Amino acid sequence: MKLEESKSDKAPQIVKFETASKSRKEGLVSKRIHSAVSALASSSSPVSETDDFFQDCVKNLSKAFEVKYAFIGVFEDDTKSSIRSLAVSADLKITDNITYDLKGTPCEDCLNHQQVLIQEDVVNQYPEDDMLADMELQSYFGSAIIDSNGNELGLVVILDTERMEKDEWMYPIFALFADRISLELERINRQKDLRLAASVFENSQEGIMLLDTDWRIRKANQAFSKISGWKEKEIIGLPVTKLATKDQTDFSICKISKSLSEQNHWEGEIWSHQKNGGIYPEKRTISAVRDPKTKEIIHYISMSVDISEQKYAEQRINRLARYDQITDLPNRNYFNEKLNEEISNARNKGSDLALMTLDLDGFKLINDMRGHSTGDRLLKLIGERLQYLPLNEIFAARIGGDEFTLLFSFKEKQDKLVPLLKGRAEEIIDLISHPYMLDGEETVITASIGIAIFSKESEDAQNLIKNSDLALYAAKKKGKNCFEYYKPEYSSNVENQFALTNLLRKALTKNQFELHYQAKNKAKSHEVVGYEALIRWKLDDGVLVSPGQFIPVAEDTGMITEIGKWVFEEVINQTQSWLNSGFHFGRVAINISGRQLADDGFVEWVEALINKTKASPEHFELEITESWLIEDPDKSARVLSQLHDLGFKLSIDDFGVAHSSLNYLKCFPVDTIKIDRSFTRDILTSEESMAIVSAIIAIGNNLNLNILAEGIETEEQLKKLEAAGCNEIQGFYFSKPQPVSVLEANHQTTGFNKHQPLRSISA
């Protein structure tokens, strides 16, 4: 052993220990060595408890080295700037533990030099260390505690109030104490780690299993038991594969072993058996644990999380994205997916494919009159009926509102596709038309269907949808509760409409519109009570286009707003001009489209117009179609009340077509009902038509409404209606719609209020 003495006056007089092994000199084993070694042996007794070990150790050190004080300290934290004692002995008694700042202390030097002996005058050598002075210490001997990896853990120190004699045996013996303390500290840390690992294993939320190299379960934690229902003892020794359900491509030991041997890690989703017979999905991670030396795999750790909730949520999201919530039928997204799939099938295999678009007739009325929840329940019941159609080739979907699609995909080409579809369409129409019990009330609804057959040459999904929509539109026009096949002319109508739209846009600026007026007469006296303004579109070549041809297009494109304003202003100008000329015209009726009434600013616009023109609303009547009223009854009632309050009379045009009930009209401030021509036309030949007309007149009279019959062409019709109690008549019998010039010329001769059948004028 070689000791170095510091030469510097200022520097502490320390003795640095270099190699403990060399310090051993034969024959030096004194009594003190003996007692020190036996003390060390006793303190290393495996039965001693952790805390007692250090306490024994400091006492034994004091005894062996015959010093007053001894302590063992470990670093307080990673900065290693202070130590916290594990045990302190003074006069062979255990005292309170201390923390000790290392700066400027002999311990600091001790850590730098591994062992430091200061035989005397330690207080003066370390003036910054108050503790030394307080304890009136003379000598210091310390050794760093270093673990098996060479890391400093702390210090073991002995101190005395007297000079410490230097004996070479002291160094190796002291080093032995330090080594022994280091071993103990490492053991404690290892135990802590083990305890931590065990607590992580037991308290983890993840199911953990320890597997041997044969994939048998050796240990399983509580979380695993909770997830799977298996108690640890029931599965110990079982191959882990037994818990997984069969036929799982993901859970193959071969694949997993490969991944583990290459990357030490495998991760996947598997389905496992639960003890109660159920199965559940889990996300499992398996890691290989290798021997640090041989690098051989010694066992596997399997960690799993139950992902049932996540899977359920995924399924729900998938369902929400693909299924309609009300009917549980596939929704528009899923239908589009399916349609594209079936179209490519039909293209590849040459099999047949057809699309039916089904729309309920008058569903809006049920929705509005009986509330949306009743409407939803009806849709649900209809969905159920469609779902249980005994037709396995049908894919039924609800694509929005009251619109359903039925996709017919056949495995091969059908000999009689058209009659087959006809049969199906009739079956479906029949199926829908059976009564439904809603809120204890029998409810009947019908459906219209458009059918388009896929043709390989010309069609894609969009085309097929468009064609079946056009066919549906045709079915609705035909009178509803029926089906129609798509015909190519429907598309050319659409193309015509497109051309028409472009022309219409220019018509207003080119001043191509004009108004014709048709008289309305009293049924009994035949006296003219007013006129209806009917728009005409005069093309450049003088051809008159009837409103039936362009008003629906104007409504579809929104151009009706501008056209409607022009009509209103024109009627006001015309009537004012008539009033100025002293003409009497009764009331002039203006047709108002639903689209105009739906515009939020319509009423304000009308009010501003009458204020500006000083026109009096009592000279006008506004004709609103029945179908618009039932489209949005709440809004209709509000807007009509506002118009009525302004002083306009209101009539319901084309009454009967939209099948609304007269009672329903009580909700609106209506003055007149105009029975549609489709009913009055047949009153002479069809008892049913007459019965309907009579019923409308009777109930209308009851409700104090004025009843006008439209489209009267013959005297017989007139008489019959008069007898039935109809108040007013409008039709070619009295007068066709006439341009202002003709009307005014006529007025010059007969006067407005006289009955003057047009026939006699034009004859």
Binding site for Mg ion (CB under 5 A): 591, 623, 653-654, 710
Nearer to ligand C2E, 436 or 732 (CB): 732
The reply on whether position 546 binds ligand C2E by CB under 6 A is: yes
Nearer to ligand C2E, 449 or 697 (CB): 697
Q: Which residues pair with 330 in a beta bridge?
A: 323
Q: Residue 69 and residue 161: Cα distance in Å, rounded?
A: 9
Q: Rounded to the nearest 5 degrees, what angle is found at the Cα of 215, between the Cα atoms of 212 and 218?
A: 45
In the complex, what is the shortest distance from the CB of residue 550 to ligand C2E, in angstroms, rounded to a whole number?
9
The residue type found at 571 is V
Give Cβ neighbours of residue 283 (< 8 Å, ≥ 6 apart): 267, 268, 269, 304, 305, 307
In the complex, what is the shortest distance from the CB of residue 453 to Mg ion, in angstroms, rounded to a whole number?
37
Report in angstroms the alpha-carbon separations of 144 from 65, 72, 112.
Answer: 17, 10, 9
Among the listed residues 154, 383, 450, 737, the single contact to ligand C2E using CB under 6 A = 737
**Partner from ligand C2E, Mg ion, none binding residue 732, C-beta < 5-8 Å depending on class:** ligand C2E
Give me the DSSP letters along 52-91. HHHHHHHHHHHHHHT-SEEEEEEESSTT-SEEEEEEEEET
Give me the DSSP letters along 733-752. TT---EEHHHHHHHHHHH-T
- Nearest CA-CA partner of 323 in 412, 417, 397, 267: 397
Nearer to Mg ion, 243 or 551 (CB): 551
Nearer to ligand C2E, 86 or 697 (CB): 697
Among the listed residues 1, 732, 753, 757, the single contact to ligand C2E using CB under 6 A = 732
Q: Residue 173 and residue 139: Cα distance in Å, rounded?
A: 18
Segment lying near ligand C2E (by CB under 6 A), choices 180-188, 455-463, 665-673, 729-737: 729-737
**Partner from Mg ion, ligand C2E, none binding residue 399, C-beta < 5-8 Å depending on class:** none
- Are 756 and 747 within 8 A, CB to CB? no
Please, which of residues 119-138 interact with ligand C2E by CB under 6 A? none
Q: Residue 88 and residue 97: Cα distance in Å, rounded?
A: 6
The reply on whether position 569 binds ligand C2E by CB under 6 A is: no
Q: Residue 88 and residue 431: Cα distance in Å, rounded?
A: 96
Among the listed residues 623, 673, 729, 743, the single contact to ligand C2E using CB under 6 A = 623
The residue type found at 470 is L
Nearer to ligand C2E, 59 or 595 (CB): 595
The reply on whether position 633 binds ligand C2E by CB under 6 A is: no
In the complex, what is the shortest distance from the CB of residue 570 to ligand C2E, in angstroms, rounded to a whole number?
9
Please, which of residues 644-663 interact with ligand C2E by CB under 6 A? 653-654
Please, which of residues 439-498 interact with ligand C2E by CB under 6 A? none
Q: Residue 515 and residue 737: Cα distance in Å, rounded?
A: 9
In the structure encoding, which two tokens stand for residue 3, read together?
């000791």
| Strand blocks (E) in 257-352 | 265-273, 279-290, 297-306
- Nearest CA-CA partner of 16 in 81, 100, 106: 106
In the complex, what is the shortest distance from the CB of residue 733 to ligand C2E, in angstroms, rounded to a whole number?
7
Among the listed residues 453, 464, 523, 534, the single contact to ligand C2E using CB under 6 A = 534
In the complex, what is the shortest distance from the CB of residue 714 to ligand C2E, in angstroms, rounded to a whole number?
9
Segment lying near ligand C2E (by CB under 6 A), choices 123-131, 227-235, 390-398, 710-718: 710-718
In the complex, what is the shortest distance from the CB of residue 675 to ligand C2E, in angstroms, rounded to a whole number?
10
Q: What residue has token string 């598309």?
A: 491
**Partner from Mg ion, ligand C2E, none binding residue 534, C-beta < 5-8 Å depending on class:** ligand C2E
The reply on whether position 713 binds ligand C2E by CB under 6 A is: yes
Please, which of residues 586-615 interact with ligand C2E by CB under 6 A? 591, 593
**Run of H or E residues at 585:** none
Q: Rounded to the nearest 5 degrees, what angle is found at the Cα of 704, between the Cα atoms of 702 and 706?
A: 115
Q: Residue 468 and residue 738: Cα distance in Å, rounded?
A: 40
In the complex, what is the shortest distance from the CB of residue 759 to ligand C2E, in angstroms, rounded to a whole number?
12
Nearer to ligand C2E, 397 or 712 (CB): 712
- Nearest CA-CA partner of 527 in 756, 311, 318: 756
| Cα dihedral: 560, 563, 567, 572 (round 10) | 110
In the complex, what is the shortest distance from the CB of residue 500 to ligand C2E, in angstroms, rounded to a whole number?
15
Please, which of residues 509-528 interact with ligand C2E by CB under 6 A? 518
The span from the first CA to the last CA of the chain, in angstroms, equals 148
Segment lying near ligand C2E (by CB under 6 A), choices 294-302, 340-348, 612-620, 725-733: 725-733
The reply on whether position 547 binds ligand C2E by CB under 6 A is: yes
Please, which of residues 346-375 interact with ligand C2E by CB under 6 A? none
Site residue total, ligand C2E (CB under 6 A):
23
In the structure encoding, which two tokens stand for residue 618, read together?
């009592």
The reply on whether position 731 binds ligand C2E by CB under 6 A is: yes
Report in angstroms the alpha-carbon separations of 648 from 146, 521, 566, 615.
Answer: 105, 19, 18, 11
**Partner from Mg ion, ligand C2E, none binding residue 207, C-beta < 5-8 Å depending on class:** none
Give Cβ neighbours of residue 584 (< 8 Å, ≥ 6 apart): 751, 752, 753
**Partner from Mg ion, ligand C2E, none binding residue 664, C-beta < 5-8 Å depending on class:** none
Nearer to ligand C2E, 525 or 546 (CB): 546
Given the rule CB under 6 A, which residues bind ligand C2E? 518, 534-535, 546-548, 551, 564, 567, 591, 593, 623, 653-654, 677, 710-713, 730-732, 737
